[in-house]
Amino acid sequence: MIDSALAQAAIQLILLGLVSLLIPASYRVIVGPTLPDRLQAVDLITTLLIGIIVMLALVEGTQNFVDMAIALAAFAFIGTISIARYISEGRVF
């Protein structure tokens, strides 16, 4: 846990800011005129989620959330690569 009140308040504020940033990013997922735009916005959302999970690790003061963030980064990379390959090639493998 973080002891000082300043750091606690700052972490809560930044967590709130990151979560509210998810709304305009999902606007691009819904509106985005073409398929690569939506894929790119989903990639952006997973990047924001990694940041949110790191902030949650600061709030809780545990290491496990950072491991979750690493796993999310790995799976997001695989998903983005395969969907981008599907868009450009028409097939994944």
15 in Cβ contact with 52 (< 8 Å): yes
Dist. CA 79–CA 74, nearest whole Å = 9
**Residue 30, φ and ψ in degrees, nearest 5:** -75, -45
Residues 23-52 that bind other proteins (CB under 8 A): 24-25, 27-28, 33-37, 39-41, 43-44, 47-48, 50-51
36 in Cβ contact with 87 (< 8 Å): yes
Interaction site with other proteins (CB under 8 A):
2, 4, 6-7, 10-11, 14, 17-18, 21, 24-25, 27-28, 33-37, 39-41, 43-44, 47-48, 50-51, 54-55, 57-58, 61, 63, 66-67, 69-70, 73-74, 76-77, 80-81, 84-91
